Amino acid sequence: MKTRKKLLMAVCLMTALCVLGGCSLSESIFDLLHAYLAGNVTTETPADLPAQKAGQGFFDQIQVPDKESDQEAAGEPTGTPEPAYTPEPTAEPALSDSVVISREQYEKYRKFDKVIELMDYAEAYFYKEVDETALLDGAAQGLMSGLDDPYSFYYNPEDFAKMWEDDEGEYAGIGIQITSNYLTQICTISRVFDNGPSKEAGVQKGDILYKVEDLFVTANNVQDAVDIMRGTPGTDVNVTFLRDGQEMNYVLTRTQIQVNQIESMMLDDGIGYIALYEFSGKCADEFATHLEKLVQQDMKGLIIDLRDNPGGWVDDACSIGDLFLDKGDLCYLVYNDGSEEHCYRTKNGKYDLKLTLLVNESSASSSEILTGALRDRANAAVVGVKTYGKGIVQSVLPVSNDGSGCQITIAQYFTPNGTAVHKIGITPDVIAELPEGDNGMYNFGDLADPQLQKALEVMKQQLDGTWVRPEITEEDTAEEAPAA
């Protein structure tokens, strides 16, 4: 009797699910119901399937067993009369075609009913042929945009591959680096690469990227602009920049660009100078090579220029910091549940050098992590203007198995001494602003650069023992930097 009741409940549940889901009942369900009423059906769990816990499945597995074997199993005599109604035989689905999921999974998947319904509408009513992959990519982008975080987003397979290509530092384009401000939506040229078409045309650091072909550029669509500017070497692209409010239109011919992430030189009085433009590619190994060459020239102090460095991989910041720090934290992470993780650690063994870091309003993320660690633990002096204030870290993760991926903010970071950076920035020990009208477009190592001059002055004071770190007031650290 129990099995008959269970089957009736199952059939009723299937019927209810179909009605609620807006689908029609299949003939097999009617057949099953008729068979039940004739006393010809029982239920059982197949021997090769594990018994399910209560509430884990949609409903029990249902089978229509052989009549005689069912009677024998129940201890009844065989050869009972045929039922008044005999359902037409239906194809028994192969066990491998059945999927049993938990109630928790079912409820999770039901949340996407709206997306599936919209896809159905699009495929049924849209006036053009629908690209299902494009719909799914758009849905994924929309889901990530729901986090309301400019640093969390979805990559389709093509964009994910391009991201890794960018990390290697070689591409075909016009040879500029762009810094985007999500508050003002302005995209500023932070670097013009040597021997590139932009350099040859006269584009300067500090120019605003205004228009690419017919696209007016903002921080939200700058990646679209980058995609347009990249392409096949030898082909042209129309680009418009703003300088002092005036439009400058160029037809630039794309070429192969080699991005040098690091430059170095000796200044004077045993002072070395390294500019690090981004934490990507093989920058950590290259930094170590440049550093060793300077040490071989009897370097006593080092100026590390992180101006306009937008950040990159935290692992690279950790490897570079490890050159100047003994065992300890580079930074620590705090997650949304309040837990801490001290996963970025430096090891014993370091170069014994005086350090000065040169930063500006576009020094962000890993630049700020390295700056905070070297100031907290290596007594480095910091010169320039307040940094960007991106005190959060992201993970880059593969999605599905089609080559797509995502970037998602996972934690806020703090300097080794517990100083917050997000939306605050790092206030330098010595403020050195560019004079009004100076866009900072100086050749590497040019001592006409007033900020580099100030960093050199501070380094000389460090070497002769006369430099004293000024006190940073609460006002300096509480004021928000111009970062979102």
Read off the pLDDT of residues 118-161 as tens digits, 9 standing for 90 and up.
Answer: 999 999 999 999 999 999 999 999 999 999 999 999 999 999 99
The rounded distance, in Å, linking the Cα atoms of 421 and 444 is: 28
Question: In the chain, what are the domain boundaries?
Answer: 2-110, 113-146, 170-258, 262-478
Question: Which residue bears the tokens 């390294």?
Answer: 274
pTM: 0.70
> What does the pLDDT read at residue 254?
96
Classify strands 328-334 and 340-346 as parallel, antiparallel or unpaired: antiparallel
What is 170-258's CATH superfamily? PDZ domain (2.30.42.10)
Residue-wise pLDDT for 180-223, tens only, equals: 888 899 999 988 888 899 999 999 988 999 999 999 999 999 98
How far is the first Cα of the chain from the last one, in angstroms, to the nearest whole number? 66
344: nearest Cα among 365, 323, 322 = 322
Residues of the chain with pLDDT under 50: 1-11, 13-87, 478-484
> What does the pLDDT read at residue 181?
86
The CATH fold assigned to 262-478 is 2-enoyl-CoA Hydratase; Chain A, domain 1 (3.90.226)
> What does the pLDDT read at residue 93?
53
> What does the pLDDT read at residue 163?
87
> What does the pLDDT read at residue 177?
85
> What does the pLDDT read at residue 206?
86
96: nearest Cα among 141, 48, 60 = 48
Q: Long-range CB contacts (< 8 A, 24+ apart) of 84-92?
A: 84/38, 85/34, 85/35, 85/37, 85/38, 87/31, 87/32, 87/34, 87/35, 88/31, 90/27, 90/28, 90/31, 92/63, 92/64
Structure tokens belonging to residue 436: 């009004």
Could you write out the three-class secondary structure of the chain? Answer: CHHHHHHHHHHHHHHHHHHHHCCCCCHHHHHHHHHHHCCCCCCCCCCCCCCCCCCCCCCCCCCCCCHHHHHHHCCCCCCCCCCCCCCCCCCCCCHHHCCCCCHHHHHHHHCCHHHHHHHHHHHHHCCCCCCHHHHHHHHHHHHHHCCCCCCCEEECHHHHHHHHHHHHCEEEECCEEEEECCCCCCEEEEEECCCCHHHHHCCCCCCEEEEECCEECCCCCHHHHHHHHCCCCCCEEEEEEEECCEEEEEEEECEEEECCCEEEEECCCCEEEEEECCECCCHHHHHHHHHHHHHCCCCCEEEEECCCCCCECHHHHHHHHCCCCCCEEEEEEECCCCCEEEEEEECCCCCCCEEEEEECCCCCCHHHHHHHHHHHHHCCEEEECCCCCCCEEEEEEEECCCCEEEEEEEEEEECCCCCECCCCCCCCCEECCCCCCCCCCCCCCCCCCHHHHHHHHHHHHHHHCCCCCCCCCHHHHHCCCCCC
Dihedral angle of Cα 32, 34, 37, 39, to the nearest 10 degrees: -60
